[in-house]
């Protein structure tokens, strides 16, 4: 029986958050644990700093001393995380880490510009034609010029008023065109 992946909080030495994240990502890859440990996150936020009368935006850690990990807890994954240099332990009891609540995870991921919903998967290629099925360009045929998997959007050229016009649409607004 496969247990589901949840988000856990790891306590680290202060200032070691990014180092712990990088080390853990390397360990996951080298040990083939990609299907057990999914995402590792050090939540950051922009903060305006004024130094010598100059305004500048700097990134600050939202939870200094903590790293968030989406994982399935089993003996091996627990051991790998627990024995990563800079990690002092999981937040929870000594023997059993306590996962974050779904609403907490959603709020944190949203604040980081990450979506908690599954991204729609589409298989299209640059140069291919798709039909726009919703929004202001509904029923137009677009020739794909750019695909942004990170944002689940694509750019394409549509023929509007006798000239090619570039548009950007969400994956959910298109369907493969049947030629």
Q: What pLDDT band is residue 1 in, cutting at 50, 70 and 90?
A: very low
Q: Are 24 and 83 in contact (CB under 8 A)?
A: no
Model confidence pTM above 0.95: no
Number of H helices, E strands in the chain: 3, 11
Q: Do domains 6-112 and 128-176 have the same CATH topology?
A: no
Q: Which architecture, in CATH terms, is 6-112?
A: 2-Layer Sandwich (3.30)
Q: Would the pLDDT of 134 be above 60?
A: yes
Q: Fold for 128-176, please state it.
A: SH3 type barrels. (2.30.30)
Q: Of 136, 139, 131, 10, which Cα lies nearest the Cα of 65?
A: 10
pLDDT 10s digits, 87-110: 999 988 667 788 998 888 888 888
Q: Would the pLDDT of 2 be above 60?
A: no
CA 87 – CA 82 distance, rounded (Å): 6
Residue ranges of domains in the chain: 6-112, 128-176
Identify the helix (H) or strand (E) that includes residue 51: strand 44-51
Q: Would the pLDDT of 143 be above 90?
A: yes
């Amino acid at each position: 029986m496969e247990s589901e992946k949840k988000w856990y909080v790891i306590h680290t030495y202060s200032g070691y958050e990014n180092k712990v994240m990088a080390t853990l990502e390397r360990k996951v890859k080298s040990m083939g644990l990609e299907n057990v440990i999914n995402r590792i996150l050090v939540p950051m936020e922009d903060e305006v700093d004024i130094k010598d009368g100059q305004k500048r935006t700097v990134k600050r850690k939202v939870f200094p001393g903590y790293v968030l990990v989406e994982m399935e807890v089993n003996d091996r994954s627990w051991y790998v995380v627990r024995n990563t240099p800079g990690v002092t332990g999981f937040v929870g009891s000594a023997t059993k880490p306590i996962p974050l609540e779904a609403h907490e995870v959603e709020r944190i991921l949203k604040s980081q510009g990450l979506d908690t919903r599954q991204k729609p998967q589409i298989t299209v290629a640059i140069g291919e034609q798709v039909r726009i099925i919703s929004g202001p360009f509904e029923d137009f045929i677009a020739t794909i010029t750019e695909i942004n998997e990170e944002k689940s959007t694509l750019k394409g050229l549509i023929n509007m008023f006798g000239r090619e016009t570039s548009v950007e649409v969400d994956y959910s607004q298109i369907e493969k065109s049947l030629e």
